[in-house]
Homo-oligomer: A and B are copies of this chain.
């Protein structure tokens, strides 16, 4: 492996996570910690990141918590993505549908995990291609221009022929009684196919969308196994969802 390749991986990791540990990178790149340290030292000298004890942080990144903790404040979607990643194990086969929360999930997949990832989203596919240890399979179809997500009969047909461990989807609207709904009929059909193609469908949604609905139904809430929001699972807003029997993280 060339030094330039390692540097690229390191910079990408820093860009995504703001902070990296030398030991983690060492594992990902299959080189000694010493080598990673030398790389980081060089990148620091080139002003491409800032070297800190035990690792490196993005330039201009300040830990304003005042503590030396390893957990930094993430936005809502980052928090959701992090929880979702906790479900995954090496060797899993998953579908990542699309949308901003799913994109965050794709970005935050650790470089050292091995997965087979299907996706219908161009931006998600681009992110997945950056991870050395993933097998990436794009499910094609007619592209929705703004969302850059494939849909249509071809995409649905492809989905009908696979069964994966987990699928991760977002939704426009979710309600305990009305289930997952959308404004757009086309995306409802594709998402339903995604749900059916996985043993464990996982809904990623910010709490803002709870208790809202629209005209087309993707599926019932009970068709989903796990719902992940940025809230603490004990939050009162999640009460009736929890009562419905779905797992909440």
A contact residues vs B (CB 8 Å cutoff): 2-5, 7-8, 11-12, 19, 21, 52-55, 57, 61-62, 64, 122-123, 125-126, 128-130, 132, 135-143, 145, 148, 150, 154-155, 158
Contacts and interface: CB of A to CB of B under 8 A. Distances in A.
Nearest to A144: B129
A48 to B, nearest CB: 9
A4 B123 CA distance: 23
Contacts of A8: 61-62, 64
Specify how many copies of this chain sit in the oligomer: 2
Prevailing SS type, chain A contact patch: mixed
A132 B17 CA distance: 13
A141 B148 CA distance: 16
B129 A136 contact: no
Contacts of A3: 52-54
B7 A19 contact: no
A16 B142 CA distance: 24
Contact of A4 (B2, B19, B143): B19
Contacts of A7: 62
Contacts of A150: 138, 140
Pairs of residues from A and B, 5 with the lowest C-beta to C-beta distance, nearest first: A140-B140, A138-B140, A136-B143, A139-B140, A129-B145
